[in-house]
Amino acid sequence: MVCGLPSELLVVLNDLFSACVFIYITASVPNKHSRGAINGLSQTTVSIARAIGPALSTSLFSLSAEHKILGGYAVYAILFSLSTLALLLAVQLPHEMWEEHDKDTP
């Protein structure tokens, strides 16, 4: 159990949130000709984050605990700051979808 929630529920919530993010990314594409490029860039970004994220957070935890930075809790302050920055960037995304025209011309 993590945070009082069963791990199966956390896996389902993670999949749900990931699907919502990719639906939002697909809906924010300005035209249908650039959907593939935008989806590819978003998948690449997520893959890089999933590849380096665990190693970076583990190393950051070890560094903050070994050097007693903020009493060993610096990792949580840094990750909270990164999450807050990500939320501030997410707020800047458009609230309305692009209007899609039926024309095939760019």
Query: Quick one: CA dihedral 68, 71, 73, 74, positive or negative?
Result: negative
Average pLDDT over residues 60-81: 91
- In this predicted structure, the answer to whether residue 1 has a pLDDT above a threshold of 60 is no
Phi, psi of 63 (to 5 degrees): -65, -45
Cα separation, 81 vs 101, whole angstroms: 40
pTM for the complete prediction?
0.60
Q: pLDDT tens-digit profile of 8-26?
A: 777 787 778 778 788 878 7
Of residues 48 and 7, the one with the higher pLDDT is 48
Residue in this structure with the two tokens 């999450």, named with its chain if needed: 83
Residue in this structure with the two tokens 């970076």, named with its chain if needed: 56
- In this predicted structure, the answer to whether residue 4 has a pLDDT above a threshold of 80 is no
Of the candidates 62, 102, 52, the one whose C-alpha atom is nearest the C-alpha of residue 82 is 52
